[in-house]
Amino acid sequence: MNDASDFATRAAAFWRERGGRMTPVREVLCRAIVSSEKAFVAEELLERARKLDRGISCASVYRALSDLVDAGLLREIRGERDQRSFVAAGLPQAPVGHVVCSDCRRVIPLEDECVPLREAAMLKRMGFAAGGMHLRIEASCESMKRCGTCENQAASTGTE
């Protein structure tokens, strides 16, 4: 099963459990989410989804995002000016975490295959088994201190 259909299948099961169903709008939103290679904000999802279906409303996007976070299919990341960004959880392209620049508040993906191994080993020593993991780090930008500008603003692959 590919990532898009697996994500949509899990989302449909969640909505069914709550007495809902997989509507055509929700299906389009699931496809648009899976096609994202970086963290996105609701407005970016709306724009991407409207390329597939012009009739999708902003309210539908916000309701679906809330539901998918509740379902554990999306992770929410607080970024610039406390703006909510989202990333699909558990997909191969999903980063293991994000760095939020405390100077410019940009969300930058953290891609390091060693992080889950290190954290899982630490959890095991503490008597836990990791059921899922996402690391969020707030960090100050060294270039801001040196040069007065944040290099992460230009290099950010998160919210823009």
CB 32 within 8 A of CB 43: no
Confirm whether residue 141 is marked as ligand binding. yes
Buried b (16+ CB within 10 A) or exposed e, 102-138: ebbbbbbbeeeeebbeeeeeeeeeeeeeeeeebeeee
Q: How far is CA 19 from CA 12, 61, 72, in A?
A: 10, 19, 18
Q: Which amino acid is at 124?
A: K
How many Cα neighbours within 13 Å face the side chain of 53? 18
Q: Is 101 annotated as a binding residue?
A: yes
104 known ligand binder: yes
Task: Please enumerate, by residue number, every residue annotated as part of a binding site for Zn(2+).
Answer: 101, 104, 141
Task: Please enumerate, by residue number, every residue annotated as part of a binding site.
Answer: 101, 104, 141
